[in-house]
């Protein structure tokens, strides 16, 4: 990609220094960078002391057999004890751990003392169902407190969980049950979504008819919606029948720091899902530290809300493990942001006095599209830090988030990480960094990341290439479940001794890192590399565009040509001049080479349930091909809609 286009992207650059008040009382200050730089392992050994170990580790990192790392290997701890019991023992049993808000409007708050009792009962119940240390448990639940309780109960007895997002199909569930060889499944009759009770249990029943799932002995079912549910005697057990009668005390056993905590399958836009394996001590150390540092958590006064689903890594690390290890009070919301009205999220922020909010750019852009007047109706003055994760956040959305949700005063922290990294890796620190809209900026203290070119040379400031991690980190994935070779090949083969994240990135003149999307999302147009993200950012910076997705379509003349799908803002009209206006706008922003050849206004974009645009499907459309697999789409009717636009769709050839 040309430096000119990057310069243009960043010419909108403004800096926002941390609010003085926040900086004065920040959990983490500038000195953390120097401390970690001087002694990286010593820094992490110190962070591990945030946890309560039953055997303190003496060894920090064993990297004698790369890429297989061991962190704090001779330490022992119980993760659930760290997330729950120790807060009760410290006298904080009455503090709320989870404010649950159901989509229909029901709510329930669980204190740490109550959570301890629930987790203890659930741990006993799993043991009664024959779950032993090391056995895998699949969790397929809506966003209800039992999801958190189930994960912690598994952690408590050393049974790795494999949480499968509740929106996945029976087939996706079966693949994951088979790969992990799960013995027990925890599910619910259903959950509420967009005002409807949606069944979950039938997908489990169907998954269990598939070959390779025979080892599942029991299905533990939470009653949430009270809808009619088919029952297999001898296999299915109601949660309330078995969990509620268990003793409320349970003695946690200490496990090795490297004991597996969970497997989480990456949403994978191609190929078989990869079972990312995370272990205990290092994972909990980094999730706790980053949550403390990046959200500046003050557990006595903050109310924290991460809008992700527990089925994604964001939910694992920043709904469950990081916040609870830190003794935080969190909000857990079951439903969608627009149910029953488009102000639902802001109503929740107002109701609980949320101070720290963590969400995804796709949601921010949806809110932008619905209009500024919606959040303006609510009191959002409690908010003090806003986080973003999941994809590059275009400067337009970043500014909108800060202005309309954060009243122009809250820092926005753009956090880069992956399922594989387990915890945040690159992010501003809210009390230290002068933030830049659109950039994740710098590796967190203790993290070594850089940008390199094809020959593995570090690029100078102003240059672009591939994001790599150059030193092991505590919450790194340990392997791909059952496939060490795939682990080596996928992440460690492209560049020797470096973890290749699969993302393209640039360093600006200050050395700050800008993520440019997956490297497979870079287009080659007449010999120029152009990132889809840059063109999307340029389109979204036009006042009539709410959202954009860009793909490279095979083109006989230019190798690839740029094809853009755009969602217009509420009031914008799709008329003849519009497409030309948008093309001219991109050309002005990024240069004529980045001008889309075709622009198609559409009503929706195809996204995976974690909010990633499925460019593969848009490429199929752009190249007039039969659509590939749509099973990971949130809403498969989206593609039908887009395809109806196709014949004679707005295209322009020059």
Where do contacts with ligand WT7 occur on this chain (CB under 6 A)?
Answer: 266-267, 312-314, 389-392, 414-419, 440, 501-503, 515, 518, 610
Q: Taking every pair of C-alpha atoms in the chain, what is the biggest distance, in angstroms?
A: 74
Q: Which two tokens stand for residue 608?
A: 């995976």
Name the residue among 162, 133, 139 with its Cα closest to residue 263: 162
Q: Which CB, 102 or 390, lies closer to ligand WT7?
A: 390
The CA–CA distances, whole Å, from 520 to 131, 295, 462, 531, 532 equal 41, 31, 21, 9, 10
CB 189 within 8 A of CB 229: yes
- Least distance (Å) between residue 505 CB and ligand WT7: 9
Spatial distance between the Cα atoms of 258 and 261, rounded to a whole number of angstroms = 8
Q: Which one, 337 or 343, has the nearer CB to ligand WT7? A: 337
- 430: tokens are 């809210």
- Rounded to an integer, what distance in angstroms lies between the CA atom of residue 247 and that of residue 240? 13
The tokens for 461 are 């400031």
Comparing CB distances to ligand WT7, the nearer of 72 and 416 is 416
Nearer to ligand WT7, 352 or 358 (CB): 358
In whole angstroms, the minimum distance from the beta carbon of 415 to ligand WT7 comes to: 5
Q: What angle (nearest 5°) sits at the alpha carbon of residue 70, between those of residues 518 and 39?
A: 85
CA 12 – CA 531 distance, rounded (Å): 18
Element spanning 302, H or E: none
- Please identify, using beta-carbon distances, which residue of 392 and 596 lies nearer to ligand WT7: 392
Cβ proximity to ligand WT7, 256 vs 503, nearer residue: 503
Q: Which is nearer to ligand WT7, 213 or 362 (CB)?
A: 362
Is 47 or 418 the residue whose CB approaches ligand WT7 more closely? 418
Residue pair 337/122 in contact (Cβ under 8 Å)? The answer is: no
**DSSP characters over 518-578:** EGGGEEEETTEEEEHHHHHHHHHTSTTEEEEEEEEEEETTTEEEEEEEEEEPTT----HHH
Instruction: Provide the minimum distance between the beta carbon of 549 and ligand WT7 in the complex, in angstroms, as a whole number.
Output: 15
Minimum CB separation of residue 392 from ligand WT7 in Å reads 4
Distance CA 310, CA 625 (A): 35
For 482, left (φ over 0), alpha (ψ -120 to 50), or beta?
Answer: left
What are residue 328's DSSP bridge partners? Answer: none
Instruction: Transcribe 7-76 into DSSP letters.
Output: HHHHHT---BPPPHHHHHT-SS-THHHHHHHH-HHHHHHHHHTTS--SB--S--EEEEETTEEEESTT-E
Work out how close the CB of 534 gets to ligand WT7 at its nearest, in angstroms, rounded to a whole number.
13
| Closest-CA residue to 586 (of 577, 595, 578) | 595
CB of 18 to ligand WT7, least distance (A): 19
> Quick one: 267 or 330, whose CB is closer to ligand WT7?
267
- Residue 160, CA distances (Å) to 139, 157, 181, 184, 188 in order: 10, 9, 11, 11, 19
Nearest CB to ligand WT7, comparing residues 384 and 518: 518
**Closest distance between ligand WT7 and the C-beta of residue 433, in Å?**
14
Nearer to ligand WT7, 266 or 307 (CB): 266
We find the least distance from the C-beta atom of residue 467 to ligand WT7, in angstroms, to be 8
Report in angstroms how near the CB of residue 421 gets to ligand WT7 at its nearest. Answer: 7
Task: Report how far residue 336's alpha carbon sits from residue 326's, in angstroms, rounded to the nearest whole number.
Answer: 27
For the bound state, the minimum distance from the C-beta of residue 416 to ligand WT7, rounded and expressed in Å, comes to 4
Between helix 615-622 and helix 637-644 the angle, nearest 10°, is 30
- Closest residue by Cα to residue 50 from 66, 34, 27, 33: 27
Smaller CB distance to ligand WT7: residue 115 or 522?
Answer: 522
411's enclosing H/E stretch is: none
When the beta carbons of 43 and 265 are compared against ligand WT7, the nearer one is 265
Cβ proximity of 80 and 153 under 8 Å? yes
Task: Tell me how far, at minimum, the Cβ of 254 lies from ligand WT7, in Å.
Answer: 29
- Burial of 312 (C-beta count, 10 Å sphere; 0-12/13-18/19+): buried
Q: Please identify, using beta-carbon distances, which residue of 188 and 264 lies nearer to ligand WT7.
A: 264
The tokens for 102 are: 């159901």
Q: What's the closest the beta carbon of residue 515 comes to ligand WT7, in angstroms?
A: 3
How near is the Cβ of 621 to ligand WT7 at its closest, in Å? 22
Q: C-beta of 535: minimal distance to ligand WT7 in Å?
A: 15
């Amino acid at each position: 990609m040309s430096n000119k286009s990057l310069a243009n992207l960043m010419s909108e650059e403004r800096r926002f220094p941390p609010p003085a008040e926040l900086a004065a009382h920040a959990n983490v200050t500038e000195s953390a960078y120097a401390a970690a730089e001087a002694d990286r392992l010593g820094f992490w050994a110190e962070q591990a002391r945030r946890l309560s170990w039953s055997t303190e580790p003496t060894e920090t990192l064993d990297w004698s057999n790369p890429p297989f790392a061991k962190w704090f290997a001779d330490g022992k701890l119980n993760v659930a004890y760290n997330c729950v019991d120790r807060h009760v023992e410290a006298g904080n049993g009455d503090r709320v751990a989870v404010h649950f808000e159901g989509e229909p409007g029901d709510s329930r708050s669980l204190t740490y003392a109550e959570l301890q009792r629930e987790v203890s009962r659930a741990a006993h119940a799993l043991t009664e169902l024959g779950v032993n240390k090391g056995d895998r448990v699949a969790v397929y639940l809506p966003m209800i407190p039992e999801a958190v309780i189930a994960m912690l109960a598994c952690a408590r007895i050393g049974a790795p969980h494999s949480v499968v997002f509740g929106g996945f199909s029976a087939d996706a569930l079966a693949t994951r049950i088979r790969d992990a060889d799960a013995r027990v499944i925890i599910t619910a009759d259903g959950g509420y979504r967009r005002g409807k009770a949606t069944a979950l249990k039938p997908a489990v029943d169907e998954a269990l008819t598939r070959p390779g799932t025979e080892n599942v002995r029991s299905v533990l079912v939470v009653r949430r919606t009270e809808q009619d549910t088919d029952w297999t005697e001898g296999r299915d057990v109601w949660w309330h029948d078995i969990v509620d009668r268990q003793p409320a005390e349970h003695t946690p056993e200490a496990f090795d720091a490297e004991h597996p905590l969970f497997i989480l399958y990456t949403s994978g836009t191609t190929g078989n899902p990869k079972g990312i394996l995370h272990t205990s001590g290092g994972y909990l150390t980094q999730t706790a530290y980053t949550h403390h540092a990046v959200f500046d958590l003050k557990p006595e006064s903050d109310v924290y809300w991460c809008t992700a689903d527990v089925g994604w890594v964001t939910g694992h690390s920043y709904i469950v493990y990081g916040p609870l290890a830190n003794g935080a009070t969190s909000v857990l919301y079951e439903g969608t942001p627009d149910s029953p009205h488009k102000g639902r999220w802001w109503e929740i922020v107002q109701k609980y006095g949320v101070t720290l909010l963590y969400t995804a750019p796709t949601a921010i852009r949806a809110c932008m599209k619905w209009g500024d007047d919606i959040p303006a109706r609510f009191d959002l003055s409690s908010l003090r830090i806003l986080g973003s994760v999941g994809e590059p956040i275009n400067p337009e959305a970043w500014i909108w988030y800060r202005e309309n949700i954060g009243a122009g005063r809250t820092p926005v922290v753009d956090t880069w990480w992956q399922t594989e990294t387990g915890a945040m890796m690159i992010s501003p620190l809210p009390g230290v960094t002068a933030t830049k809209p659109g950039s994740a900026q710098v590796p967190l203290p203790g993290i070594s990341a850089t940008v390199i070119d094809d020959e593995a040379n570090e690029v100078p400031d102003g240059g672009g290439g591939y994001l790599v991690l150059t030193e092991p980190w505590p919450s790194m994935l340990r392997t791909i479940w059952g496939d060490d070779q795939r682990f080596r090949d996928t992440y460690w083969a492209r560049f020797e001794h470096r973890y290749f994240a699969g993302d393209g990135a640039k360093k600006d003149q200050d050395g700050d890192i800008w993520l440019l999307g997956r490297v497979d999302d870079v287009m080659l147009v007449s010999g120029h590399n152009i990132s889809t993200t840059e063109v999307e950012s340029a389109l979204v910076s036009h006042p009539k565009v709410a959202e954009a997705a860009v793909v490279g379509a095979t083109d006989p003349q230019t190798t690839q040509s740029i094809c853009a799908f755009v969602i217009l803002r509420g009031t914008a009209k799709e008329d003849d001049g519009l497409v030309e206006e948008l093309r001219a706008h991109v050309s002005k922003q990024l240069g004529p080479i980045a001008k889309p050849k075709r622009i198609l206004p559409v009503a929706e974009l195809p996204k995976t349930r974690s909010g990633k645009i499925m460019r593969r499907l848009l490429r199929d459309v752009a190249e007039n091909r039969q659509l590939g697999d749509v099973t990971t789409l949130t809403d498969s009717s989206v593609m039908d809609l887009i395809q109806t636009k196709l014949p004679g769709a707005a295209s322009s050839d020059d």
